[in-house]
Amino acid sequence: TFVIALPCVDVKDKECLEACPVECIYEGDRMLYVHPDECIDCGACEPACPVEAIFFEDDTPDEWRHFNAVNAEFFADL
Ligand code: F3S
């Protein structure tokens, strides 16, 4: 799955929503989140984000690695 990390917080550009072919990106209060079970790993969202907030889960920078769990937990709470 791809994940959205810190650069999205309070930016919420939403170009990723347009790029995603399966609509697996959802809006939260301060950022957006990728649904890990719905993401098809196509990678279309990654270059679409102007602030480079989106990463393939294995490539999330170490300091933002917890956003892998943050994305998944957003959906666990719904
Ligand atoms: Fe956020 Fe980038 Fe999408 S800022 S809403 S991850 S295009």
Q: If you take atom 2 of ligand 1, which residue's CA is the nearest one?
A: 49
**Does ligand 1 lie within 6 Å of residue 20's CB atom?**
no
**DSSP 8-state assignment for residue 74:** H
Domains defined for the chain, CATH in brackets: 2-76 (3.30.70.20)
pLDDT of 78 over the 90 cut: no
What are the tens digits of pLDDT across the range 46-58?
Answer: 999 999 999 999 9
Residue 63 tokens read as: 């300091």
8 Cα to the center of ligand 1, angstroms = 5
pTM over 0.90: yes
Residue for token pair 């300091």: 63
